[in-house]
Structure 1
Amino acid sequence: MIIDFGDGFFLRQATEADHPALAMICLKTGDAGQDATGREDAPDLLGQIYTIPYQVLEPDLAFIVDGPTGAAGYLLGAKDTKAFNAGLAAKWYPRLRAQVTDPGPDRARWSGSDWARHQIHHRDFTIPPALAAYPSHGHIDLLPQARGKGIGRRAMAFLEQRLAALGSRGLCLEVMPDNHNALRFYRAIGFAVLREPGLPDHSIYVAKRLTTAPEIVRTGDRVNGGR
């Protein structure tokens, strides 16, 4: 256990055994924070794109939020987005491309998870210059049973402290424009919406400067070397 959130919820390191949970949570929050199960015909693809690679390529910054009934969220980070993307391009995506068929460029012919299949075959790993001041990035998603308890705020504070202790000077996250709850949350914890030229139109980036300092765990958080 890394942080005890109370009420049976706690943060722990993610392991390879958590890959199904990472995929499940990603699917259950994959529609702008809501359940995307009804939309996808290949439900595991979201996890293969958005969550599982972090446990494989950046295991020290991959965490599970566990609750009374099992995995209820995840917290994922990459200290150096450029290096992480290079790992995806060299090690992760070639395997995925061998497993799925490119549906082609005609979006009118897409159905189910074709958008994800297309992304796998045409993923752009370049980083917009506007993100240069924020070399780290992260993801957090919580299932409904873990929301409204302050878990998201405390988990993000932990990730910021961990990245700062590793020497990162800035953290950014990508948010879908229609995920208004997420945007309100990030603003409430001190992230600013970036409106710089060159950022993609299909998503919003929120960012925060980090002060490099020894890692600090908030009062009341229980720290332990293992579960």
Structure 2
Amino acid sequence: MGPYLAYSSDLAWVLAAEGDAPVGYFLAVADTVAFEDRLEREWWPPLRARGPRPPVRPGTPDAWLRSYVDQPPRTPTDITTRYPAHIHVDLLPEAQGGGYGRRLWETAMDALRLRGVHGVHLGVAARNTNAQGFYRHLGLHLLAEDPGTQFYGMRL
């Protein structure tokens, strides 16, 4: 969440339950290419330069995180050309099914449209069939797949 709050905080929302406990968030970026370029200039170098880096065991979450910092993936140009914005959504189970996701979606899409954005995409784990169904229900369609991830998009 850090880069989104640092560089796109005007497109970030938190869903809170009673007592203000966070139960979800919705993050958006209007221009994925510019965001990824900025991360490469400003966000990743300090993380890469941090003190000694102990070895990590291959196949572990630490190994995945290290490779993500060292070589962050770039969104394919064929996706960003048609769907320049991207989003991240995460709702805890207690926040799912009550219309909160749809309301957050509508709020974010309105904000992106006001910025002149013409398309949005997202990646979802291939095993997360509930989220895939939710996104299809919202009108997104499958754009591409790679191992473990499906990319969905929608014109605004």
Q: Which moved more, 1:159-168 or 1:108-117?
A: 108-117
DSSP-derived class of the 2:122 partner: strand
Does structure 1 residue 58 correspond to structure 2 residue 31? no
Q: Name the one with the larger strand percent.
A: 2
Alignment match, 1:22: none
Q: Which has the larger radius of gyration?
A: 1
Alignment match, 1:36: none
Alignment match, 2:106: 157
Identity %: 33
2:79–2:121 CA contact under 8 A, matched in 1 = no
RMSD: 2.0
How many correspondences in the alignment?
154
Q: Name the one with the larger helix percent.
A: 2
2:127–2:148 CA contact under 8 A, matched in 1 = no
**TM value normalised by structure 1:** 0.63
DSSP-derived class of the 1:123 partner: coil
Which of 88, 97, 100 aligns to 1:139? It is: 88
Shift of residue 112, structure 1, vs aligned partner: 3.8
Which of 63, 67, 88 aligns to 2:17? It is: 67
Does structure 1 residue 208 correspond to structure 2 residue 154? yes
Unaligned regions of 5+ residues in structure 1, if any? Answer: 1-50, 211-227
Which of 92, 113, 125 aligns to 2:43? It is: 92
Shift of residue 103, structure 1, vs aligned partner: 5.1
Shift of residue 131, structure 1, vs aligned partner: 3.4
CA–CA distance in structure 2, aligned partners of residues 76 and 130 of structure 1: 18
Label 1:132 to 1:200 Cα distance change in 2 as closer, same or farther (>3 A): farther
Question: Residues 169-180 of structure 1 correspond to what in structure 2 (within 5 A)?
Answer: 169-180=118-129
Cα offsets for 1:135-169 (capped at 9, x unmatched)? 00001101122111110011111111110111000
Unaligned regions of 5+ residues in structure 2, if any? Answer: none
Shift of residue 125, structure 1, vs aligned partner: 2.9
Shift of residue 66, structure 1, vs aligned partner: 1.2
2:33–2:80 CA contact under 8 A, matched in 1 = no
Question: Residues 28-43 of structure 1 correspond to what in structure 2 (within 5 A)?
Answer: none
Cα offsets for 1:83-109 (capped at 9, x unmatched)? 1101111111112212373858xxx73
Alignment match, 1:48: none
CA–CA distance in structure 1, aligned partners of residues 36 and 71 of structure 2: 14
1:54–1:77 CA contact under 8 A, matched in 2 = yes
Shift of residue 122, structure 1, vs aligned partner: 1.4
Cα offsets for 1:49-70 (capped at 9, x unmatched)? xx12100011111111111141
Alignment match, 2:33: 82
